[in-house]
Structure 1
Amino acid sequence: MEFPTKVALAQAVPVLPEGPGWWYEPKYDGHRTVLRRTDETVVLYARSGRAVTQHWMDLAVAGMELRPGTVLDGEAVIWREGRLDFAAAQSRAASSVTRARALAARYPASYVCWDVLQHPDPAIGDCRHLPYTERRAFLLELLADVEPPVQVTPVTDDRDVAVLWYDALREQGIEGIVCKRGSAGYPSGQRRWLKVRHADTVDALVLGFTGPRLRPHHLVLAVGDEGGPARVSARLEPVLAVRVGEALSGAVVVGERRAEGEPYTRVESDLVVEVLAGSGRHGTLTVTRMR
């Protein structure tokens, strides 16, 4: 198995699919993370493939309980007062290493896991080709004796239960439901899972910004998959601009120039924002919040 590996993605749909063979999981408002337990340590990767171990050292330490050779897919989340705090998780992911450690001391993270990509038993190894139901069984086995903050997400094959989750868990910060075929393998880099979300938005990866770092004016974004074309957002609302600036404080600068009379800074970042679905018809995108 090569690292970093491409994670499976989900396509937005308006309603939960019906029929036999579907499995439903809560959709968490956090930071997508692949956890790899090697013989000697733990390495964490963001959805982009960038190593982010130093930003989530509390999860790396917890991951040492896993058997060497285990690779998991899940979400790094932060719970505050009984609900998910996405802003806290995104601040951790986008901050400097020093600040990330300080944030971890205040708001420790949890790792909610939903898939196993590699089994530590060499006879099984890379199990992405196996059906979801088999991978789920392996996941439960591997984490049976592992305590929080590493934990397995709940799942159901009952659509009525999934509908109940969709409505009842919103107050806890659960943003929707992810739907997977029980007979399907792990679709690395493909949008074969389905997701139903409360918000009528799509995700966009931040590639850069115009204006000052602490209060950017516009964001340069890749909508959907990270390989999408770069597009410029509409001017950020003042409060959102401050929050984005804070999240970008630790981002690595990979290029600077001037564009249309103001500085443009290109960054290497895992910061994801939500833009209104259907916005951008004239080349701009309306950013609603950080993801």
Structure 2
Amino acid sequence: MISRSGGGPDGGGTEFTAEGLAPVLAEACATAGFDAHGAEVLRLGSNAVYRLASSPVIVRIARDPSVLTEMGRAVNMARWLEAQDFPATRVPTSVAQPLVVGGLVVTFWESVQEREEYATVGELADLLRRLHWLEEPEALGLPYFDPLAKLAASLEALEGVSAEDRTYLEERAASLAKDYDRLDFVLPFGLTHGDANIGNVLHHRDGHAVLIDLDGFALAPREWDLILTAIYYDRYGWHSKAEYAEFVYRYGFDLMNWPGYETLADLRELMMVAWIGRQVTVSERSAAEFARRMRSLRTGEGRDEWSPF
């Protein structure tokens, strides 16, 4: 069930700040039967994420109003994973969602715990190994992951970057598209999280690790769920050698030994740069990071200076 109130398909001009979103949060919570008073802002980026003070609930408001179908699928994915007894974030059973309020898409999630405590790289490997054993939930109609289409859409949406930077990114994407089409994947094709990294695995209040951010689930080569951990270690130094070795041991496959690793790494990296590029007009920190990453792409140096987002 979807509740529509005010605004148009572009979000009705709502300013995507804590102050601008306050009426959206209040109306969405009232519709879902929650109290928005005292809600804490956890993040304000592609999504505004709030922790409610009155209930163990996380509220997520998407900046992009076109993600209604995607978020509906994420809610259904959470319910399916719960039925499989898979450790992932849950949705409140009492709420019909997603909601559309002021032209923005709002979803509600059970709070994992009172503070964000990230799990270990080894626990991420355990979750992915278990996830990749699951059969495709055909009733959910998961999409096939097309990284080239996703990258093209991100590049098309770039604003506030120079024509020179845009041209460079587009030419690099075209070159990588040819290399990607020649890849020979060796892991089974099937259910993937889509953004599997240490930032999307939290410790539950009872101690076990859970997978969060379910809106990227798709059908794809499983290598896509391993690439971020590999490049976080290999290219950016965000994981130690010991952490990556633990990840490989517990998952059972070392992506860096696969001949297609560099191509997949280059493509995933370009997607990361394009994502940051879409934030340059709303965040000085993002603009500085985008410039740093563009220098690395051009020179091949300085990747160890990248900041995680």
More helix by share: 2
With a CA cutoff of 8 Å and minimum separation of 6, indicate the structure with the bigger relative contact order: 1
Task: Tell me whether the two structures share a fold, i.e. TM-score over 0.5.
Answer: no
More strand by share: 1
Structure 1 length normalisation: TM-score? 0.27
